[in-house]
Amino acid sequence: MFKTLLLIVNPKAGKRRSRSFFFDIFQVFSQAGYLIRLRLTAGPGDATRIAREEGGQFDLVVCYGGDGTLNQVTNGLLQLDSPPPVGYIAGGSTNDFAASLQLPSDPAEAAQAIVESPGRYLDVGLFNGHHFMYVASFGAFTKASYSAPQDLKNDLGHLAYIIEGIKDLSSLRSYRARVEADGEVFDGKFLFGAVTNTLSLGGLVKLKSEDVVLDDGKFEMILFPEPKSLVDLNDMARALLLQDYSGNGLIMRHASHVTVSTEESLQWSLDGEREDAGRQVEIQALHHRLFARM
C-alpha cells in the first residue's frame, strides 16, 4: 500500500546551480513506497500556506530549502489539529539547525535518512504566538540574518552574513531591556540577545554540544551585555572564541520561559526571518511539540 508525501521546495534556496539531485530524491522516496506531490513556493509565507492547507492530507511532509523554509513549513503544520511528521532536506546557504540535527548535506542521503528514521520529537519555540525552530534574536548582527540578499547568501553562505553584519557595525548599539528567564531577572543594556535551540547562529555564535539538548523542554538564552571597558570587551571576545559563557563576558541560561521587555519596539529574527515585535515578548519552549523524521 502506497504512502503519500508532500514535498515543499523553495526553488531559490541554496548554492546548488544544478537541480539534477531532485531525481535522486524522488527515487529514494519512490522506492520507499511514497506517492509524491511536489509544490514549489513562489514567495514569502507560501510554504506556511501550503503546509497548512495541504499538509493534513499526507502521511509525511518534507521541505527542501533553508532553515527559514523549515520555519514556515513548521508554522503551517502546527496550525493543524493532527500534523503529520515533518522531514527536512537542507538546501539553504547556512543550515544552522540542520547542522545541529547532524543531517546529511547530500540531498539524496538526507532523503534516505528521512525514510529510515524512526522519528523523534523536537521542541519548538513559541514567540508571541508564532512558532520557531531554533532561534529568536535581537540586536547586533540580527539584521544580517534577514537582510543579506538571497543571491549573496546562495553564493557565499556564512560569509554573506558576516559581510552583512560588518555593514551593520556602523549602527551597532545597545538596547535597554529587562529579561526574565524562568524567574531570574537581568536588567541592563544589551548588544545582543537570543533564545536558541541550536549549536550555531550564522557561524558567529557557537555552543558546545553538551550545552544543547534539542528535546529537553529548555532553550538556551544568551545575552551580550554592553561592554563598559576594554576588559569587558576582551572578556566577551574570549567567551565567543572559547565557546565558554560561564564567565563575566556573556550571560547564558537554560530556560523554558523567557520574557523580554524593552523601552522601544525591536525587530527580531525568527530562524532568519524578520519579525517585528512590540515592547514585550513572551518566548516559550514547547516540549516535544513536533514529530520529525530526519
| Section 201-206 average pLDDT | 74
Is it the case that residue 136 has pLDDT exceeding 90? yes
pLDDT digits (tens, 9 = 90+) for 185-194: 999 999 899 9
Is it the case that residue 147 has pLDDT exceeding 90? no
Furthest CA-CA distance within the chain: 67
Is it the case that residue 26 has pLDDT exceeding 50? yes
Catalytic residue among 54, 273, 275, 282: 273
Q: Are 99 and 40 in contact (CB under 8 A)?
A: no
> If pLDDT is split at 50, 70 and 90, which confidence band does 92 have?
confident
Is it the case that residue 230 has pLDDT exceeding 70? yes
Pairing type for strands 60-65 and 3-9 reads parallel
pTM of structure: 0.84
- By percentage, how much of the chain surpasses pLDDT 70? 85
Q: Are 116 and 180 in contact (CB under 8 A)?
A: no
In this predicted structure, what is the pLDDT of residue 144? 44
More confident of the two residues 188 and 154: 188
DSSP string, 36-81: EEEEE--STTHHHHHHHHHGGGSSEEEEEE-HHHHHHHHHHHTTSS
Burial 188-213 (b: 16+ CB within 10 A, else e): eebbbbbbbbbbbbbebbebeeeebe
> If pLDDT is split at 50, 70 and 90, which confidence band does 175 have?
very high
Is it the case that residue 15 has pLDDT exceeding 70? no
In this predicted structure, what is the pLDDT of residue 116? 97
| Section 140-167 average pLDDT | 46
User: Which has the minimum average pLDDT: 53-62, 136-145, 213-222?
Assistant: 136-145
| Section 193-210 average pLDDT | 85
Is it the case that residue 156 has pLDDT exceeding 50? no
- Residue 246 in 3-state DSSP? coil
In this predicted structure, what is the pLDDT of residue 158? 41
Mean pLDDT of the chain: 86
Is it the case that residue 146 has pLDDT exceeding 80? no
| Section 206-213 average pLDDT | 88
| Section 21-45 average pLDDT | 95
Question: Is there a catalytic annotation at residue 273?
Answer: yes
Which residues, 6 or more positions from 130, have their beta carbon under 8 angstroms from its beta carbon?
A: 75, 270, 275
More confident of the two residues 276 and 230: 276
In this predicted structure, what is the pLDDT of residue 165? 43
Segments in 123-266 forming alpha helices (H)? 142-147, 150-156, 158-167, 230-242
Taking Cα atoms as reference points, which of 130, 128, 127 lies closest to residue 79?
130
Q: Report the run of H or E that residue 97 belongs to, with start and end.
A: helix 96-100
Q: How far apart are CA 94 and CA 200, in angstroms?
A: 10
User: Which has the minimum average pLDDT: 73-87, 90-104, 237-251, 254-268?
Assistant: 237-251
Q: Are 5 and 36 in contact (CB under 8 A)?
A: yes
Is it the case that residue 14 has pLDDT exceeding 60? yes
